[in-house]
Amino acid sequence: MNIAIDSFGDIQLHAASVQEWKQTYSQLTSGSLLSSLQQLSGERFQVFREHINQRVVQNGEAPRGRICFAVPLAVPGAARMQGREANDSSVFVLHGGDEFMFHMPMGMDLLAITFDRATFERAIAAAPRPDELTTLLKQPVLQVPTARLRDSRDRLLTLFQQIVMRADLADPQTEQGLEAALMSEMVDLLSDPACDKRQRHGSSTGSYIVEKCHRLTVDDQLNPPSVIDLCQRLRVSRRSVQNGFRSVTETTPIHYIRCIRLNGVRRELLGTRSADLSIGDAAARWGFFHLSHFAADYQALFGELPSQTRRADGKAGRSTARATAEG
Whether 327 maps to a domain, the answer reads: no
CA-nearest of 268, 253, 252, 255 to 213 is: 253
Beta strands 2-8; 22-27: pairing state: unpaired
In a domain, 320, yes or no: no
Q: How high is the pLDDT of residue 291?
A: 92
In a domain? residue 199:
no
* pLDDT tens track, the chain, 327 positions: 889 999 999 999 999 999 999 999 999 999 999 999 999 999 999 999 999 999 999 999 999 999 999 999 999 988 999 999 999 899 999 999 999 999 999 999 999 999 999 999 999 999 999 999 999 999 999 999 999 999 999 999 999 988 877 756 667 788 899 999 999 999 999 999 999 988 988 899 999 999 999 999 999 999 999 999 999 999 999 999 999 999 999 999 999 999 999 999 999 999 999 999 999 999 999 999 999 999 999 999 999 999 999 998 876 654 433 333 334
Provide the number of structural domains found in the chain: 2
Residue 323 maps to a domain: no
CA distance 103 to 260: 13
| 138 and 248 co-located in one domain | no
pTM value is 0.90
Spatial separation of the C-alpha atoms in residues 194 and 152, rounded to whole Å: 14
- Give yes or no: residues 26 and 166 share one domain: yes
pLDDT of 319 reads 40
Q: Please, how many CA atoms are within 13 Å of residue 7, restricted to the half-sphere of its CB? A: 3
Identify whether residues 17 and 126 lie together within a single domain.
Answer: yes
Same domain? For 27 and 87 the reply is yes
Question: Among 101, 79, 61, which residue's Cα sits nearest to residue 217?
Answer: 101
Q: Please state, in angstroms and rounded to a whole number, the distance separating the CA atoms of residues 141 and 87.
A: 10
Angle, CA of 2, 64 and 152, to the nearest 5°: 60
Phi/psi region, residue 138 (left: phi>0; alpha: psi -120 to 50; beta: rest), is: alpha
Q: How many Cβ atoms from other residues are within 10 Å of residue 98's Cβ?
A: 17
Range(s) of the domain holding residue 270: 205-308
User: pLDDT at position 174, please?
Assistant: 81
Q: What's the CATH number where 118 sits? A: 2.60.120.10
Residue among 109, 111, 106 at smallest CA distance from 53:
106
Give the Cα separation of 96 and 285 in Å (integer).
32
Q: What is the pLDDT of residue 163?
A: 83
pLDDT at 313: 80
CATH number at residue 290: 1.10.10.60
